[in-house]
Amino acid sequence: MVIKPSEFTPNNAIAFAQIVDDIGLPKGVFNLVLGRGETVGQELAANPKVAMVSMTGSVGAGEKIMAAAAKNITKVCLELGGKAPAIVMDDADLELAVRAVVDSRVINSGQVCNCVERVYVQKGIYDRFVNRLGEALKAVQFGDPAQRDDIAMGPLINAAALERVEQKVAKALAQGARLALGGKATGGRGYFYPPTLLLDVRQDMDIVHEETFGPVLPVVAFDTLEEALAMANDSDYGLTSSIYTRDLNVAMKAIKGLKFGETYINRENFEAMQGFHAGWRKSGIGGADGRHGLNEYLQTQVVYLQA
C-alpha cells in the first residue's frame, strides 16, 4: 500500500505513518510518499505495478488519474466533487434544519465534498428560515486556531482556494444574487473567508451548479417537492443530499426521487463508517466505507473443482 497525500495537507498522513510504524506493521506493507500530483501522483497512477488507484479530490484531478491509469487498465476508485442540495420543507423542524445546514457548511471552512452547497427552501417557511440561518451564520466564530480555541471555522487551504471562492461569489452577485452576510475576505495574514449567505438565488446561476468548496450558502425558494427534486437533480454531481421534514411519506418520496449516492433525513451530511460513501455522475466511481467499500479493494477469484 502506498499513500500520497495532497501536497497542501501532508501532516495527517505523516502522523498516521508514524502510528503505523509504532505498532510494528512489517516494513513495506505501508508506504508514504510525498510530492506533487503532476509528478509523484502521475507516476503512481501510470505505474504498471500498481493494481488499483483510489483518490479523493476534484473532478479535474480524477480525470487525470483515469487517463494515467487507462494505459495499464488499472482499476480506479474515485471520490470526487459534490454540490450537495438540502431541501427544507414547510413542516421542517426549523431549529434542527438551521443547525444542521450551518454545521454541514462551516465544517473545515466548507472544504468538504459531501456537505451542503445549496439550500432549497419551501416558500411557506422561507422568510423564517433565512432569517434564522443568517443569525446562525453570523454567530459562527471563525479565525486562527493557533491563536484561539473557541472557533468553529478556520481558514481556507491556500491563496488559490480563497481566490476561487471570491470569484464564485462575485459572479453570483453579478448574475443577480443578493449578499445577505459575509462575502469579503478578512485580509491580513491567512486565507480567511467568513460564512457567506446568498439570497434571491435562481436555479440558472453558476453558484448553484459549480462546486464552491468554501463557506458559502446560496438559498433558492421553491413551491412543491417535485420542483425541489427536479432542481436538486439538475447537477453534474451526485454525491450527497438531504431533506428536512416531519412527514415520513415526504421523506420516502424524496429518497426515491433524489439521484444521489447518499441521502440524509433531518441531519447534517456526515457519513458513518458502516455506510457506503459513493457518488453518482461526476462525483466518482466506486466508493468507500462499510462492506461495499471494502469490496472495492478485493479481487474476486472463482474456482471450479471437479471432484
Rounded Cα–Cα distance for residues 186 and 143 (Å): 9
- CA distances to 131, 219, 241, 275 from 134, rounded to whole Å, are 5, 11, 21, 32
- CA distances to 24, 88, 177, 238, 286 from 61, rounded to whole Å, are 34, 33, 30, 17, 16
Residue of 7, 43, 63, 79 marked active site: 79
DSSP annotation of 131 reads H
Strand pairing report for 196-199 and 178-181: antiparallel
Active site residue 163: no
Rounded Cα–Cα distance for residues 19 and 40 (Å): 23
- CA distances to 174, 270, 290, 293, 294 from 273, rounded to whole Å, are 41, 10, 6, 9, 11
Residues labelled catalytic:
79
